[in-house]
């Protein structure tokens, strides 16, 4: 007898997310884990009701899950049950009238312009892999691409004439992103060296000439964060946050930043305005002679 959390209905739903909704494998896996956790709790998808759902939420609360994690799990389960309803596996969706908790507004971490410059200048570009690492850091900060978008890029994807690159984002949506002059110059140096060493399509490669993974780039970045003496938790996404924050700090239009980041909703981009306003208020409180009572 199969475990309730490994139901064929769930496997069918995950294939639907991958092949029809164009979700990334990572996102589909995350949804699957959330739904499996609920199915294990109930003992099967057909046993879910309002009482078991509320018991599940209470269980997560006692286990100290943060509010945003609870919301993610409830949304994942609600969408799964909508799929079951459309597939006529159930007659009603027990999640439909469950109110999700209000999301915590977490401001993304970012680097100052000085910290960013220190990080970008840390790799030793006299060595091939140092040059590669500098090109990766410059490219993320210059374009704001997601790490999953970065690792898919090929060396022929850069348009040097128009100083831009075509990026395949979430949901297989394409967008054109400008690439700054400094990043382009480093990329040109790197690609020249790349072609002399490897006959490969991927833009960023490992020592075997095969495509770098997101995990290896995260490890690489941690190494340079330590070397640069930055006392913050920094990931590739932190550079993306820094890109957006610095653009808005210097007067970029919110809609333009939304397009550059590949956000489908403006509300996702608006979190950066809270961040810049919060920082401006901090500076105001520190500097204005009559800011404090």
- Which residues belong to the active site? 146, 170, 237, 240, 263, 272
Three-state SS across the chain? CCCHHHCHHHHHHHHHHHHCCCCCHHHHHHHHHHHHHHHHHHCCHHHCCHHHHHHHHHHHHHCCCCHHHHHHHHHHHHHHHHHHHHCCCCCCCCCCCCCCCCCCCCCCCCCCHHHHHHHHCCCCCCCHHHHHHHHHHHHHHHHCCCHHHHCCCEHHHEECCCCEEEEECHHHCEEEEECCHHHHHHHHHHHHHHHHHCCCCECCECCCCCECCHHHHHHHHHHHHHHCCCCCCCCHHHHHHHHHHHHHHCCCCHHHHHHHHCCCCHHHHHHHHHHHHHHHHHHHHHHCCCCCC
């Amino acid at each position: 007898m199969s475990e309730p959390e490994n139901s064929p209905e769930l496997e069918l739903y995950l294939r639907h997310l991958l092949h029809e909704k164009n979700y990334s494998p990572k996102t589909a896996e995350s949804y699957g884990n959330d739904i499996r956790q609920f199915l294990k709790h109930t003992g099967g998808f057909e046993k879910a009701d309002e009482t078991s759902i509320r018991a599940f939420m209470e269980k997560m609360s006692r286990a100290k899950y943060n509010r945003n994690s609870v919301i993610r799990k409830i949304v994942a389960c609600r969408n799964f049950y909508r799929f079951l309803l459309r597939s006529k596996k159930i007659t009603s969706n027990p999640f439909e009238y469950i109110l999700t908790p209000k999301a915590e507004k977490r401001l993304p971490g970012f680097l100052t312009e000085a910290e960013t410059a220190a990080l970008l200048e840390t790799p030793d570009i006299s060595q091939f892999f140092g040059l590669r690492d500098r090109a990766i850091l410059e490219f993320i900060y210059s374009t704001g691409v997601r790490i999953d978008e970065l690792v898919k890029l090929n060396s022929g994807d850069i348009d040097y004439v128009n100083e831009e690159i075509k990026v395949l984002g979430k949901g297989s949506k394409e967008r054109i992103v400008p690439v700054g002059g400094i990043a382009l110059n480093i990329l040109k140096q790197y690609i020249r060296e790349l072609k002399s060493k490897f006959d490969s399509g991927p833009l960023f490669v490992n020592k075997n000439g095969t495509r770098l993974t997101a995990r290896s780039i995260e490890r690489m970045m941690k190494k340079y964060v330590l070397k640069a003496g930055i006392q913050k938790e920094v990931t590739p996404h932190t550079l993306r946050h820094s890109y957006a924050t610095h653009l808005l700090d210097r007067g970029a239009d919110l809609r333009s930043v939304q397009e550059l980041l590949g956000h489908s909703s403006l509300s996702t981009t608006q979190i950066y305005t809270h961040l810049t306003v919060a920082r401006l208020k901090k500076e105001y409180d520190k500097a204005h002679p009559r800011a404090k009572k």
